[in-house]
């Protein structure tokens, strides 16, 4: 017999994957149920609507990002090395980025076409990354820290978009190496 928590985990995994691969608007609860192997009627036990499952996926992304940024702050005293880590973390997902783009950036782009609560939730993740990057550049002593943070996050999102458009994981690696050199020269 399948445990309840296992069903929830399978639903979340399926929702995260489908929303990333085909977008929020193209994903249905039936798609999520089918992919997870959980009957559609049981989905409503966990989530009352597609928006509710999307909020859960976005919250999971948010918690993961915030925890990773906090861990970097705790483990690495050098802000340049923290920024380098931030850049490298994208490199572990080169193939996924080339195939589907950045999961958070893609959701921001899709959900911001309409002003919704979901858009606000996912936007908060990018804003948290911007604040964190600003803090790192300030710690390096840069007076233009906020502008550099925008440049860094925008460049990472641009790399993601181009790699997806060109279906090129190699582009991700080359551009991340350039960003690494940019940080090292500061």
Q: According to the model, what pLDDT value does residue 69 have? A: 97
- 3 pLDDT tier (thresholds 50, 70, 90): low
Here the tokens at position 104 are: 């958070």
Residue pair 82/88 in contact by the 8 Å Cβ criterion: no
Q: What is the DSSP string of 20-73?
A: HHH-TTT--HHHHHHHHT--HHHHHHH-SSHHHHHHHHHHHHHHHHHHHHHHHH
pLDDT tens digits for range 13-57: 999 999 999 999 999 999 999 999 999 999 999 999 999 999 999
Classify residue 124 as exposed, middle or buried by CB count within 10 Å of its CB (0-12, 13-18, 19+).
middle
Here the tokens at position 73 are: 């702050």
- 68 pLDDT tier (thresholds 50, 70, 90): very high
Say whether pLDDT at 165 is over 90.
yes
Strand, helix or coil for residue 150 = helix
Other CB atoms within 10 A of residue 101 CB: 22
Task: For domain 51-184, give the CATH number.
Answer: 1.10.357.10
Here the tokens at position 142 are: 């840069």
Q: Enumerate the domain spans of the chain.
A: 1-48, 51-184
Say whether pLDDT at 1 is over 50.
no
pLDDT tens digits for range 104-159: 999 999 999 987 899 999 999 999 999 999 999 999 999 999 999 999 999 999 99
Closest residue by Cα to residue 60 from 8, 22, 112: 8
Among the listed ranges 12-21, 74-83, 90-99, 145-154, which one has the minimum average pLDDT value?
90-99
Stretch 154-168: mean pLDDT, rounded? 97
Task: For domain 1-48, give the CATH number.
Answer: 1.10.10.60
């Amino acid at each position: 017999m399948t445990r309840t928590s296992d069903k929830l985990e399978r639903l979340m995994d399926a929702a995260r994957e489908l929303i990333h691969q085909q977008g929020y608007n193209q994903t249905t609860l039936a798609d999520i149920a089918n992919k997870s192997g959980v009957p559609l009627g049981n989905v409503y036990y966990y989530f009352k609507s597609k928006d509710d499952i999307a909020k859960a996926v976005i919250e999971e992304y948010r918690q993961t990002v915030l925890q990773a940024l906090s861990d970097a702050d705790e483990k690495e005293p050098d802000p340049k090395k923290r920024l380098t880590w931030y850049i490298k973390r994208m490199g572990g997902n080169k193939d996924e980025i080339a195939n589907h783009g950045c999961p958070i950036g893609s959701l921001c782009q899709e959900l911001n076409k309409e002003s919704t609560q979901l858009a606000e939730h996912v936007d908060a993740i990018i804003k948290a990354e911007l604040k964190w990057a600003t803090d790192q550049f300030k710690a390096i002593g840069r007076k233009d820290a906020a502008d550099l943070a925008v440049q860094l996050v925008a460049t990472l999102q641009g790399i993601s978009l181009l790699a997806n458009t060109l279906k090129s994981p190699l582009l991700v690696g080359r551009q991340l190496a350039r960003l690494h050199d940019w940080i090292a020269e500061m």
